[in-house]
Amino acid sequence: MKGVRFWGTRGSLPVALTALDVRNKLLATLRAARGRSLAAEPDLEAILVGLPFAVAGTYGGHSSCVQLDTGGPEYFVCDMGSGLRPFGQAAMSRRNGAAQTFHIFLSHLHWDHIMGLPFFVPAFIPGNRVVIYGSHVELEAALRRQQDKPSFPVDFSIFGAKMEFVHLEPGRTREIAGVAVTSMLQRHGGDSYGYRFESQGKVVVYSTDSEHPLAQAEHAERFVRFFRGADLVIFDAMYSLADAISVKADWGHSSNIVGVELCQMAEARHLCLFHHEPVFDDAAIDAVLAETRRLEEITRGATPLHVSAAFDGMEIAL
């Protein structure tokens, strides 16, 4: 396992920067440039380097889609949110006329995690192979229904690639193209499943759309075992802890605080906050990241836990 690339990191639905958002970023950049030289390109680059990410960049707006780089020729992808469309475009640009194989692992069947499939260009290409894995028995039916009229103008038969569906039994490890893959049931409306990927001595855990009642010791212990020793845990941190245990209890999502606690107990190396609340702008996500890093610092044990927040286009090397 070489690393991961994020193509979509939002939860619930895609969002986009508004004209006001862009204007506020430009104003913040101009304020930072006051009194500084703008004569040469290096001067401009220096200003941008000094800006916070929330001003100089954006966390993006696509819903969940994460690519795993296994080092092999076949693609591994978690979830088919709207981020699947740009991923597919990137894969097509590297095709060079050769057939491609895509292994796609679905956490669950809610629309924000499957909406990218009708716009996934490689699925239209004869000779390609798209294998969709999941632990829901309704897997194929849900994806076909998404394209039934009147919801979509073309049905599932439009795809030219070979489309396959594979049911994964939770808790049972299966080797797929040289990667050991294990799914685990999570607490979410309609159920969701986390995935543990192991290859070449590296471990990546993808755990989104899951609620964690940590007062239930058996629940916490189950996830600690699943996260144990992971090089990277991609974790649903959609809510604040206060929201997760009060007004949004039983909504099926977790918080940055719980992510830190579980990863520390599991001795994971890197926690990546994911499935961002669509209401949060870039500054709000930046604030959550800073808060999470501070929490990790003051609760740190013998081994530090690296904390990051996913953004569309982000790459993490393992």
pLDDT at residue 245, rounded to an integer: 47
Confidence tier at 97 by pLDDT (50, 70, 90): confident
pLDDT surpasses 50 at 247 = no
Contact of 207 with 108, CB cutoff 8 Å = no
At 246, is the pLDDT very low, low, confident or very high (cuts 50, 70, 90)? very low
pLDDT number for residue 250 = 56
State the pLDDT at residue 39: 87
pLDDT level of residue 196 (50, 70, 90 thresholds): very high
Q: Please give the residue that has the higher pLDDT: either 250 or 27.
A: 27
Is residue 101 pLDDT above 80, yes or no? yes
Task: Report percent pLDDT > 70 for the chain.
Answer: 96
What pLDDT, on a 0 to 100 scale, did the predictor assign at position 244? 43
**Least confident residue range of 122-131, 152-161, 236-245:** 236-245
CATH topology of domain 3-17+58-317: Metallo-beta-lactamase; Chain A (3.60.15)
Per the prediction, the chain carries an average pLDDT of 93
pLDDT at residue 253 above 70?
no
State pLDDT tens for residues 201-237.
Answer: 999 999 999 988 777 888 899 999 999 999 999 999 9
* Per-residue pLDDT at 189 exceeds 90: no
Question: What are the structural domain ranges in the chain?
Answer: 3-17+58-317, 19-54
Tens digit of each residue's pLDDT (9 = 90 or more) over 172-185: 999 999 999 999 99
Q: What is the pLDDT of residues 23-68, one digit of tens each?
A: 999 999 999 999 998 889 998 899 999 899 999 999 999 999 999 9
The DSSP secondary structure of the chain, one letter per residue, reads --EEEEEE-BSSS-----HHHHHHHHHHHHHHHTTS--SSHHHHHHHHHTS-HHHH-----PBSEEEEE-SSSSEEEE--STTHHHHHHHHHHT-TT---EEEEE-S---GGGTTTGGG-GGGGSTT-EEEEEES-TTHHHHHHHHTSTTT-SS-GGG--SEEEEEE--TT--EEETTEEEEEEEE-STT-EEEEEEEETTEEEEEE-S----TTSHHHHHHHHHHHTT-SEEEEE--B-HHHHHTTTTTSS--BHHHHHHHHHHHT-SEEEEESB-TT--HHHHHHHHHHHHHHHHHH--SS--EEEE--TT-EEE-
Q: What is the pLDDT of residue 302?
A: 86
